[in-house]
Amino acid sequence: MLTNYRFNWAPIWDARDLIASGLAMTIAVSLVSLAISIVIGLVVGSAGASGSRPARALAAVFVDIMRNIPLLIHMYVWYMALAFLRLPAFTCAVLGLSLYSGAYVAEVVRAGIGAVRRGQMQAALAAGLTRFKAMRLVVYPQALRMIAPSLASLFSQLIKDSSLASVIAVSELTYEAGAIDGQTFRTFEVYITISILYLILVTAASQLVMLVPGARNEASSARFADA
Amino acid sequence: MPEVIVQNLPFLLQGLWTTIDLSLWSTLGGTALGILLATIRFVRVPVLGTLCMLFIEFIRGTPLLVVLLITYFALPALFGYKTTAYSAALLGFVLFIGAYLAEDFRAGLRSVRPSLIQAGLATGLNRWQVLRFIIAPQAVRSVIPPVFNQYIRLIKFTSVASIIGVTDLTGAALLVNARQFYPITILTTIALTYFVLCYVLSLIGRALYAHYAVKM
């Protein structure tokens, strides 16, 4: 039952510059964190799938610690506990987000490498490739195709998680929404607007990942799971 | 144990209890909502199914913090009711985790082979009985890992409730820190507490899965 709430979208339109700059900041935080978390995920994930027992154990410890601590605490640790480092808020947000998401990416990468059939690696080595080249040219490309759907959902997760950067005063979309709400009291309109903006970002991001050549769609990856 | 933690132990434990309490009720509510949404989508109820799909996509595309801000500020403004931080957080978590669980449950329902459903119908069971006796028991097993992942995510996500003013573990810790300022000690302690909570839950999930997994 809608009571006498009067919709008024004009203040939202008037604040479009703030929303645009918030959106740009959200994209910046997400992209930088995305890049770092891919690097972390690749290194830790490869260690987790490697033949060396200590490397596997280290990777498992890293993943378990990073994943089982809430992202908000990650951010506060960089921003408050390690305040003596005097890192800018943006850097704190990126570090927290990358370490947290990197652990998730690592698990996906590890599963992807594990899913590439053993014979592929053996054949590559037998063909005279070095271990590094075999990984780069044979194993990773196949793994990437299989994990593209999981990566797509992780990356959209990362974009949404970047909203927590607002609590350590990074002026991204959610932060600006709070500011606009404070100025205009158009609470419902402003939060619906940014929800839709997040929805667009997330959809775009997951569609982009699925452009990976040969990426398997949901149906065929389900078939893969059956095999 | 560091002095600042010992001094404030009752307060922090109260926060921990709020975290557990909030997680528990959100888990129950979210699971119920998830099963409801998944069933409606799975049996393709017209109109209602589409509405559920839209709701799920909306929630899954929105950050949790924004969902909480909506349940705390926007919905009460829209419908003109009063709410507390705790009930707004609870509502937000149920809606949020329910939408994610719905997709996991639906994937589980869809993982049951169609030939089994056809066989069930052929032996004279009606659609409800097929769902109850053939699809559900198999689906439950296959969804244990993703569902426990969601529960673990939920525990971590409850920390976000501190932003709208719930004195959960994070909220309590931040208050203590604001009063006495030992950020390293306090944040390490609560990080460890969350770690133990989530890790124990993930072990339970693994044990359940090992126990109930469909052996091929």
Q: Where are the domains of chain A?
A: 12-226
Q: Is A130 left (phi over 0), alpha (psi -120 to 50) or beta?
A: beta
| pLDDT, tens digit (0-9, with 9 covering 90-100), for A84-120 | 898 999 999 999 999 999 999 999 999 999 989 889 9
Q: What's the whole-number mean pLDDT along residues B159-176? A: 94
Q: What's the whole-number mean pLDDT along residues B145-169? A: 92
ipTM field:
0.87
B63·A174 Cβ contact <8 A: yes
pLDDT of res. A2? 58
Whether A17 has a pLDDT exceeding 70, the answer reads yes
| Percent of chain B surpassing pLDDT 70 | 98
Whether B175 has a pLDDT exceeding 70, the answer reads yes
Whether A45 has a pLDDT exceeding 60, the answer reads yes
pLDDT of res. A11? 84
* Mutation target vs A (from B22, B180, B195; most A CBs, 10 A cutoff): B195
Q: Which residues of B touch A73 (CB under 8 A)?
A: 159, 170, 187, 190-191, 194
Tokens encoding A117 = 């059939």
Do B90 and B23 meet the contact criterion of CB atoms below 8 Å apart?
Answer: no
Over B104-150, what HEC string results? HHHHHHHCCCHHHHHHHHHCCCCHHHHHHHHHHHHHHHHHHHHHHHH
Q: What's the whole-number mean pLDDT along residues A70-86? A: 92
Which member of B61, B174, B187 has the closest CB to residue A202? B61
Do A216 and A149 meet the contact criterion of CB atoms below 8 Å apart?
Answer: yes
Number of domains in chain B: 1
Tokens encoding A69 = 């601590």
**Backbone φ, ψ for residue B160 (5° rounding):** -65, -25
pLDDT of res. B215? 60
Give the separation between CA B87 and CA A106, rounded to whole angstroms.
36
Least confident range of A156-170, B151-165, B202-216:
B202-216
* Mutation target vs A (from B19, B57, B78; most A CBs, 10 A cutoff): B78
| pLDDT, tens digit (0-9, with 9 covering 90-100), for B12-59 | 999 999 999 999 999 999 999 999 999 999 888 889 999 999 999 999
Q: What's the whole-number mean pLDDT along residues A167-171? A: 91
pLDDT of res. A71? 95
The CA-CA-CA angle for residues A82, B200, A168, to 5°, reads 25
pLDDT of res. A225? 36
| pLDDT, tens digit (0-9, with 9 covering 90-100), for A185-212 | 888 899 999 999 999 999 998 888 878 7
pLDDT of res. A88? 93
Q: What's the whole-number mean pLDDT along residues B76-95? A: 93
CATH code, domain with B101? 1.10.3720.10
Whether B91 has a pLDDT exceeding 70, the answer reads yes
The alpha carbon of B161 is separated from its chain's Cα centroid by a whole number of angstroms, namely: 13
Do B152 and A68 meet the contact criterion of CB atoms below 8 Å apart?
Answer: yes
Which member of B163, B177, B191 has the closest CB to residue A69? B191
Tell me which residues of chain A, numbers 3 to 22, contact chain B at a CB-CB cutoff of 8 Å.
3-5
B69·A177 Cβ contact <8 A: yes
pLDDT of res. A219? 43
pLDDT of res. A155? 92
pLDDT of res. A14? 87
> What sections of A69-139 are H helices per DSSP?
71-76, 89-115, 118-126, 131-134
Q: Which residues of A touch B146 (CB under 8 A)?
A: none
CATH node for A12-226: 1.10.3720.10
pLDDT of res. B137? 87
Q: In a 3-state reduction of DSSP, which class is residue B216?
A: coil
pLDDT of res. B80? 85
pLDDT of res. B127? 87
| pLDDT, tens digit (0-9, with 9 covering 90-100), for A206-224 | 888 878 777 655 444 433 3
pLDDT of res. A224? 35
Q: Is B124 left (phi over 0), alpha (psi -120 to 50) or beta?
A: left
Report CA-CA distances (Å) from B31 to A88, A142, B17, B151, B199. Answer: 40, 36, 21, 9, 20
Q: Look up the pTM and report it.
A: 0.88
Write out the residue range of the structural domain in which residue B177 sits. Answer: 3-212
Q: Which residues of B touch A80 (CB under 8 A)?
A: 177, 183, 187
| pLDDT, tens digit (0-9, with 9 covering 90-100), for A113-167 | 998 988 998 999 999 999 889 999 999 999 988 888 888 889 999 999 999 999 9
Nearest to A33, CA basis, from A147, A142, A154, A191: A154
